[in-house]
Structure 1
Amino acid sequence: MSDDKVLSGVRVLEVAAWTFVPSAGAVLAEWGAEVIKVEPRNGGDPQRGLVTMGIVDEGGGSVNYMIEIPNRGKKSIGVDLSTPGGQEVVRELAKNCDVFLTSYLPERRKKFGIDVEDIRAVNPSIVYVRGSGHGPKGPDADKPGYDGVSYWARGGIATVLTEGADELVRSRPAFGDLLGGMTIAGGIAGALYKKATTGKGSIVDVSLLGLAAWNLSPDVAVSQIHGGSAIPKFGHADAPNPLVGTYRTSDGRYVQLMMLQLDKFYAEAMRVIGLPELVDDPRFADPASRFANRVELIALLDGAFAKHTLAEWRSTLAPLSGAWGIVQTPGELCQDPAVTANGYVAHTETVNGVPFSLPTNPVQFDEQSVVPTGAPEHGQHTEEVLMNAGIDWDTIEEYKKSGAIL
């Protein structure tokens, strides 16, 4: 690990599974921290099993991307936390860690001896971090939470993204989880600053439900104002600003216009789009008339965009000073010149040497892009991590014999 990264020297002990909380560990690893992932001795992180269940396509038998995404750059140890030896191992490792990161619910944390008081007993100043579905308080503090339930459904995301549709939009894999991981990582960075300046460790909590509320701040705020009146709803055909919306091209693709200052960009946009006659058209001569006749204006823009292909519009719109973009596919995103120039999608490989592409976390320090290392195999670093923690070989052998570690 490069010694000039912002979290170089920070050690994180992660007892977490799936994507939400582990993705925070992946971000910390890309920022330079040493992240030790504690996986169940038998089977490891249950997300490893999604391939055998057929939920994740392994890409020709080579890349389990739902393990790679939240676990790049970590060390893995296999531990049975139901055994006294396994609990001893975790507490021993926690002595020399700056951060303890977990997704386990209160009942399991107490059962496995990894709750706040257990870890603070061996390391009083550690930053203790909990990611949950519904927060540390209230009736659902011990209720399982996942992206699709706590964030997408209960958090209101599905409702606001599906307004006007015949059926609910399906959630994308790990959509809220990955946003949540970045949020947890930011909270940890703040807690580490406090620890560095005061010597005191914090308890950090992030929930998927709280994240959803934050994401929907405008909707939530408006829902509580003036008797709960909703944010005004318009369709494409009657949008209040014709220069904010998507327009379909002749080859069935879409261009997104995002010029919030309609009056500032109106004349320029009409000329670039190929409708210069509309600049002085009395129907659209001033802000009031443009709003009153917006349905006609949008229909004219629809007709103009429908005459040319996406490729042609890329060239035609290039001189436009207002904001616009192409509605791209994930595959096109990888080839986007801004993405490639900034290294937002890195070309890396698994620990077995299989090449693939993986987005990096979006935070860059000192203009340096990240090339992530692959996710570890289950228990790949058990002996190495324990020996580095000062546990002698004979003790490690005893832990193995007792089934405490892999």
Structure 2
Amino acid sequence: MTPPSPKTSLGHIRVLDLTRVLAGPWCAQNLADLGADVIKVERPGAGDDTRSWGPPYLRDQDGNDTTEAAYYLAANRGKRSITLDISSPEGQQIVRDLVLHCDVVLENYKVGQLKKYGLDYESLRAIRPDLVFCSVTGFGQDGPYAHRPGYDFIIQGMGGFMSITGERDDLPGGGPQKAGIAISDLMTGMYASIAVLAALTHRDRTGEGQYIDMALLDVQVAMMANMATNFLSSGNAPVRWGNAHPNIVPYQTFATADGHIIVAVGNDGQYRKFVNAGGRPDLADDPRFATNPERVRNRDLLVPLLAHMVKARTKQEWIDQLEQAGVPCGPINRLDEVFDNPQVQARGMKLALPHPAAGQVNLVRSPMRMSATPPRHDMPPPMLGQHTDEVLAELLGQDAQQIAALRAKGVV
């Protein structure tokens, strides 16, 4: 194990991570970034489902695919991997023994599944009363949907996100649209991270552990933010506006000669600067478009004129000119352009770590910047079972013969 730096926030915390796929591993990765010793428990021979969610896969030093899918790499840096069959009595006992050395347990099994193994919160807190135990499920531990499996795509639809995401229904391509990433999974992982840290703070003050019940649907409803309160305040359900804004015009994307840009005009003065930059001052003098309320009323007349104006120049020409004029704007970058961006490079968001199979793995660093206890970036996503012998010896005192016997029985 690479010892955590004494300057990390959570170098005194150990996490037993029984999660897989994305929401739970994202939480565990946040805790690992902050210095926690995260022990990832995986199925012997298979591991986390996302290890095989490719291509693309990480390539070895000869350019051949390894068994590590890029999806898995995104959510598992900074952890140690052990393989363990928790359906076996021996595997269940190893989990109990490890819990005695851990502060936090994360799990995302189906409701009630861990109870069958004697590994649920009530069973484990009997041996570790100050344990922080976090369950991540689709719908939570109670309610009529509790026993349903939860998938991010379905949750985005059920939780209202897709009702406000996508092009307007009356335009070509209109209709509901999911996000390009699994936002309910990721946000659940973020909320779970906050809840775990809050529970650890409470434990430090009182000595009391606790149970955390995180549900993807709860998180999706909560993250609707102002759209949810718009509905709760008015009784009117918001609708899809695509890349436009329901109350401000122009505040949307436009196609240029070689790509797309975002123009976010916030007031009438910025609007005049925008059309002046495009050689169309008449569009600011026209009373139908002179003020934002009139532009909103006449959106369908104005936007095609602006689209024609913007199409005449390249993306970079528009960005240079609008930035000089003080009009809020920005590009819509592909990911190759993101990582070529000088600001992204200056902030060091691309992270290269040594890897036992590939020599090096390229990842995205944690965005958390902390002056006294910065995140650690010294351990790549582990190979399947890479640390099994190490963890069993270090924490449970098992010798090579004992571990070999467990391996022969398929327990590890």
TM-score bracket, normalised by the shorter chain, equals 0.7 to 0.9
Q: Deviations over 1:322-365 (max 9, x none)?
A: 43211112222222222222223323353323434322333222
Matched, 1:5 2:15: no
Contact (CA 8 Å) 2:254, 2:307: kept in 1 or not? yes
- Corresponding residue for 2:265? 259
Deviation at 1:403, TM superposition (A): 3.1
Matched, 1:248 2:249: no
Q: Distance in 2 between matches of 1:14 and 1:237?
A: 41
Any conservation in 1 of the 2:349–2:364 contact (CA below 8 Å)?
Answer: yes
Q: In the alignment, is residue 64 of structure 1 matched against residue 63 of structure 2?
A: no
Cα 1:240/1:153, change in 2 over 3 Å: closer
* Paired residues of 2:164 and 2:240 also in contact (CA < 8 A): no
Matches within 5 A, 1:7-406: 7-51=10-54, 56-58=55-57, 61-62=65-66, 63-149=68-154, 151-162=155-166, 163-164=168-169, 165-166=173-174, 168-169=176-177, 172-226=180-234, 228-231=235-238, 240-251=247-258, 253-260=259-266, 262-286=267-291, 289-366=294-371, 371=377, 373-393=379-399, 395-405=402-412
Cα pair distance change 1:140/1:279, threshold 3 Å: closer
Matches of 2:223 and 2:41 in 1, distance apart?
31
Specify the code of the residue in structure 2 equivalent to 1:161.
T
Could you say if the C-alpha distance between residues 126 and 168 of structure 1 is closer, same or farther in structure 2, counting changes exceeding 3 Å? same
1:115-173 superposed Cα distances (whole Å, 9 cap, x missing partner):
00121122110111111100111122232212122x22322323322352456435535
Deviates further, 232-241 or 85-94: 232-241
Which letter maps to 2:57?
E
In 1, distance between residues paired with 2:244 and 2:224?
Answer: 25
SS of the residue 1:76 aligns to: strand
Worse overlay, 181-190 or 287-296: 287-296
Q: 1:143–1:293: structure 2 CA closer, same or farther, 3 Å change rule?
A: closer
**CA shift for structure 1 position 33:** 0.7
Alpha-carbon distance in structure 2 between the residues aligned to 1:343 and 1:238: 33
The Cα offsets for residues 369-398 of structure 1, whole Å up to 9 and x where unpaired, read as 764632111111111111111323154444
1:86 alignment partner, SS class: helix
Q: CA deviation at 1:24?
A: 1.0
Question: Structure 2: how far apart are the matches of 1:369 and 1:344?
Answer: 13
8 Å CA contact 2:248–2:292 kept in 1: the answer is: no
1:10 to 1:239, Cα distance in 2 relative to 1, 3 A? closer
Q: In the superposition, relative to structure 1, how do residues 381 and 288 fare at CA in structure 2: closer, same or farther (>3 Å)?
A: closer
Change (3 A) 1:265 1:370: farther
Q: State the distance in 2 between where 1:205 and 1:39 align.
A: 22
SS of the residue 2:396 aligns to? coil
State the distance in 2 between where 1:49 and 1:65 align: 9
Q: 1:391 to 1:318 in 2, by over 3 A?
A: same
Contact 1:360 1:370 in 2 (8 A): no
Confirm or deny: 8 A CA contact 1:77 1:380 kept in the other structure. yes
Q: TM-score, normalised by structure 2?
A: 0.86
Structure-2 separation of matches of 1:116 and 1:293: 59
Letter in 1 for 2:309: A
State the number of aligned residues.
397
> CA, structure 1 residues 327+125, in 2 after alignment: closer, same or farther (shift >3 Å)?
same
Could you report, residue by residue, the CA deviation over 1:30-68 in whole angstroms, capped at 9, with x for unpaired residues? Answer: 1111100111124222222334xxxx3325514511111
Name the SS for the 1:311 alignment partner.
helix
Secondary structure of the residue aligned to 2:227 is helix
Deviates more, 1:229-238 or 1:354-363: 229-238
Distance 1:286 1:206 in 2: 46
Contact 1:237-1:299 at 8 Å conserved across structures: no
Q: What residue in structure 1 maps to residue 61 of structure 2?
A: none
Q: Is the 8 A contact 1:155 1:213 kept in 2?
A: yes
**Which one-letter code corresponds to 1:159 in the other structure?**
S
In structure 2, C-alpha distance between the alignment counterparts of 1:286 and 1:49, rounded to whole Å: 54
User: Can you list the C-alpha shifts for 1:204-229, whole angstroms capped at 9, x where unaligned?
Assistant: 22211111112223333344454x42
TM-superposed deviation, 1:17: 1.4
RMSD between aligned alpha carbons?
A: 2.7
Unaligned runs of 5+ in 2: 59-63
Decide which moves more: 282-291 or 385-394: 282-291
Matched AA of 2:85: D
- Structure 1, 238-247 or 364-373: larger mean CA deviation: 364-373
Q: Percent identity?
A: 29
